[in-house]
Structure 1
Amino acid sequence: MFVKIYIYHIKRDKTEEYFRIQEKAREIYRKFIDSETTYLQSRSDTTKWIEITKYRSEEEYDKGIALINTEKEIQELFKSFQSILVDRKREIVEENFIEVMNTSIL
């Protein structure tokens, strides 16, 4: 599995808008690529979020994201997303990982 991790800070009063943006983005992603996303909110800083998305492979991600990025709506959604970031913490950290092992005790 290929894994993308994003870390960013969302304004406290924009959580509902954040989820609306994410849902619209997921609809677009579904047209082009299979993925599974988990959203985590920090307990110590409620503006801090981590988004973890898993893809079958990096190659599949690269092909899908190339098509996704041509969609006008996804570009508009990204602008909306940028507008809800905390002003003094506007950086979006993006990292790539390969899933080595997955275990569950649930």
Structure 2
Amino acid sequence: MRDLDPPDAGEAVVASYFETWGTDNGYATAVYGPVGDAVGAVTITRANGFEVQATVADGWWAAWWPGPSDGATTLTAHGDDGVTSSPVRLDSPRPLRDS
């Protein structure tokens, strides 16, 4: 994986996401990336409307959920100042900005 530029203060970047499957537990999806200093939360919204709250710590965010991802899965960055980004698709190369 190439080096990522540090995100701006109100930005979250998708570094990678992956799915895994096991005979005992089925699918699971994980996603993570760097986050700017002003972002306090990241929310993943699945196509079925189920929301996953990412863990945000030490300049990174990460989340996982049972089941596969789909093309409609989106991420939203929430700034500490209450500003929220527009949802961005999981597979989008754009950073998430809380502009």
* TM-score between the two structures when normalised by the length of structure 2: 0.36
Higher RCO (C-alpha 8 Å, min separation 6): 1
More helix by share: 1
* TM-score between the two structures when normalised by the length of structure 1: 0.35
